[in-house]
Structure 1
Amino acid sequence: MEEAYEILDYLPIRFKEATEEEYIKFLWEAFESNYQNEKYQFSFMAYHMLFMSSVYFNVWQIKSIREDDFHKIRLGFNEDFGNATSPFNFSKENESRVLDLLRYTCASHSDVKSLIGQYKKLVKERNGVAHANGSIPFRTSSYLETRVSDIIRYTAEIQSYSKPIIQECFKKFLIESQDEETRPYVDISEQINEVLIHEHYLSQKDLEFCLEYDISNLADEPNYIEIEKIFQELQTQYSPEDLEV
């Protein structure tokens, strides 16, 4: 099922902890092996967990890029939620409540309540098959494939609404990275990978938003030539066209 691979483009390229990357790999392998063995319910459960992981990374980006706004929208959640040191810490909260936080990024949608409601339906369906209720609704691969298509569509929707946040992050990164003497890494590639991607758990799709940013907006910056070099290095490493070659 080729479409299923698409979700990997919405998950981080780099992780802060090896165990985080190991966990995502574990979920993907669980999805694949259960699909191959026609255990479609368990395959769906693993894939839905990949979806929720992508949501946690999206919420983390609000926290790391717009911290003040994050602390406003997370009111009502416990203190540990606000002090999370990893996106996976968000899993301690009810999944539907976490999905409600996406109202912040998806606010421009004409019916954000309905949009979030669709995502919550997936949670309810996953909960339904995660209990010993004697039911096997996922009897055919086509049923699972329909849910995978839904998840990919929802993930793409959530991603689309995060564009302003990601580009805001990238702009700030470029401005703060233009001085070789003061930035953490002199090597441009290291600066991109450690400070931009690693810190914010950016995905390939996030980096595509960065590559769409018009750096001419920063033409008045004192070291604009260095900003151009950084942008060119990002293109070289992560342009979708180059990755397909």
Structure 2
Amino acid sequence: MEEALELSTYLPQSFANNREQAYLDFLWSAFQTNYEADRFEFASLAFHLLYMSFVSFSIWQIRLAMPDQFRMAMVGFRSDEEGSLMDCESPFKFYDRLKESQIFRFLKLIGCTNHQVGEFAKFVKRRNKIAHPTGTVFFNDRAAIDAEIADMMKEVRNIETHMEPVIVELYRRFLIASADMEERQYTDPADEIAANLIHANYMSAADLDICAGFDISALAAEAHHDEMQALHAKLVELYPPEEMEEAA
């Protein structure tokens, strides 16, 4: 259970609307309730949906940071699919246009190999077996589901590692766009970070850890660098890197 709860570190801290938040809350409740009641088959289904939600949020961030490459990755899709994927207003809408297994192909844009993509997608096949009446219970005990969760969390961490350049790019864009206090939405740095970094980009705690480790000196030549430093200092104050927390 403890390793499963770690997944929350990789899920957004803020959602586009209350329905998305309610959906994730429902999945967590379904997972925990069934896990604690030893209904491991149903717990695994809920956890799989949480895993696929994490994947969809990652693909959303890739689309934000790499729109041109994202378009190129759609070569081979039908023309109507290409347009609809770029126009999706929510990460959850990707699955209205694509099969679950197809969504993983976009992870190649962050350097994942075909083998890695296959490892990420293998859980879809397992879930499909569980979701159909086979007369077989795949997860009969706590050890079995815990092993599955450990396997899935390994791939979550792998994806997040590959996502680092994407998160850095989104953060860099945020700092540049929000540097001018006369132009940005909120004067208060904390409010600006909450609205236009975390909320706008579906940032997770793990993503913010990457942002907190950003080398702000890399933007020294940009206008309003002092305000960028102030924004970064506020982010580090609010979301200190894990290394700093451990050292403390």
RMSD across aligned positions (CA): 1.6
**Residue 106 (structure 1) shift:** 2.9
Quick one: structure 1 residues 84 and 220, their matched pair in 2 at CA, closer, same or farther if it must change by over 3 Å?
same
3-state SS of paired residue (1:104): helix
- Is this contact kept in 2: 1:74–1:82, CA < 8 A? no
2:105 aligned with 1:100, yes or no? yes
Task: State the TM-score, normalizing by the size of structure 2.
Answer: 0.93
Distance 1:120 1:182 in 2: 43
1:12–1:201 Cα contact (<8 Å) kept: yes
> 2:147 maps to what in 1?
146
Query: In the TM superposition, what is the alpha-carbon distance from 1:178 to its structure 2 partner?
Result: 1.2
- Provide, for residues 81-100 of structure 1, a one-character-per-residue CA deviation record: whole Å limited to 9, x for no partner: 23100000012221111112
Matched, 1:235 2:239: no
Matched, 1:174 2:175: yes
Partner of 1:220, secondary structure, is coil
Matching residue's letter, 1:188:
P
Among residues 84, 88, 94, which one is paired with 1:84 in the alignment?
88
1:243 positional shift: 7.9
Distance 1:106 1:31 in 2: 31
Scaled by the length of structure 1, the TM-score of the pair is: 0.94
1:197 and 2:205 are equivalent in the alignment: no
Asked if the contact 1:14/1:201 (under 8 Å) is kept, the reply is yes
Q: What pairs up with 1:3-152 in 2 under 5 angstroms?
A: 3-75=3-75, 76=77, 78=81, 79-92=83-96, 93-107=98-112, 112-152=113-153
**Kept after mapping to 1: 8 A contact 2:7/2:153:** yes
Structure 2 residue runs of 5 or longer lacking an equivalent are: none
- Contact 1:61 1:200 (C-alpha < 8 Å) held by counterparts: yes
Alignment partner, residue 223 of structure 1: 224
Using a 3 Å threshold, how does the CA distance of structure 1 residues 222 and 106 change in structure 2: closer, same or farther? closer
Please, which moves more after superposition, 91-100 or 137-146? 91-100
> What is the distance in 1 between the residues matched to 2:55 and 2:27?
15
Q: How far apart are 1:73 and its partner, in Å?
A: 1.1
Amino acid at match of 1:71: R
The answer to whether the 8 A contact 2:167-2:207 is kept is yes
Counterpart Cα distance in 1 of 2:105 and 2:176: 33
Instruction: Judge conservation of contact 1:106–1:158 (CA < 8 Å) in 2.
Output: no
**Residue segments in structure 1 that go unaligned for 5+ positions in a row:** none
Whole-Å separation in 1 of the counterparts to 2:222 and 2:140? 59
1:232–1:82 Cα change, 3 Å: same
How far apart, CA to CA, are the structure 2 residues paired with 1:19 and 1:157?
28
Quote the sequence identity (%). Answer: 34
2:184 aligns with 183
How far, CA to CA, are the matches of 1:100 and 1:69 in structure 2? 12
